[in-house]
Amino acid sequence: MFKNKSLKLIEYYKFINHNLIYNNKAINRYKKDNFEIPQDKVKNLDLLKKRILSLKNCDLKKHAQNIVFSDGNPNSRIMLIGEAPGANEDQEGLPFVGRAGQLLDKMLSAIELDRNKVYISNIINYRPPDNRRPSEEEIKRYLPFITKHIEIINPKILVLLGSTAMNALIGKDIVISKMRGKWIDKKFGNCMTSVIITFHPAFLMRQPAQKKMSWIDLKMIRDKKKQL
């Protein structure tokens, strides 16, 4: 059994590291898939996006090129939430299309998922200048939007990528090293979902030794997905 686990771990490391070349060019990922989305969900997502677009007195909007609303399948029962857009995401108007997005795609593929099978968004919908961490005031301003976003999608599994997403949606006084790899049942509006916290792909790029912990989390998501 130990041998099998070791082989799977080796396979995972090869999968996310082997021939993975990072560059500054964004993935050219435009919407090509036409999902059959219920009309009420389409309407609610459109209204939410318009509410964000009409937000006043937001410095982030003034310096950003595009709103970064979401990517993936709105019908998915798995939703992933990151921190905020970076330069590539701001350029394309889609989340996780830069270097961290490449790694996220590899991580999803390791558990037989892709962007047609999940739904992805961020706590913040506009890029903070110089890719800095969002301020507490900015997180507070956008928190009602991401909470409503979760309620509209109504996922059965909610994956929070990194400490910013965790602190915004679960609590400020907790640390990711102690909270990752655990299931938390939480309600967002009318949506009751199972939440799991794991490391942000950008953090894994800086701290590759933590990929072992990330792999444990991914397997938990894979096993949970089988129960849906």
pLDDT of residue 5: 57
Dist. CA 191–CA 110, nearest whole Å = 28
Domain boundaries, the chain: 38-227
Q: Which amino acid is at 10?
A: I
Query: In what order do the strands lie in the sheet containing 157-161?
Result: 71-72, 119-122, 78-82, 157-161, 191-198, 183-188
pLDDT along the chain (228 residues), means of 10: 55 52 45 76 98 94 96 97 97 97 98 97 96 95 98 98 97 93 96 98 97 97 95
CB 154 within 8 A of CB 194: no
What's the pTM?
0.87
Helices (H) and strands (E) in the chain, counts: 10, 6
Right CATH number for 38-227 from 3.40.470.10, 3.60.110.10, 3.40.50.1220, 3.40.50.300?
3.40.470.10
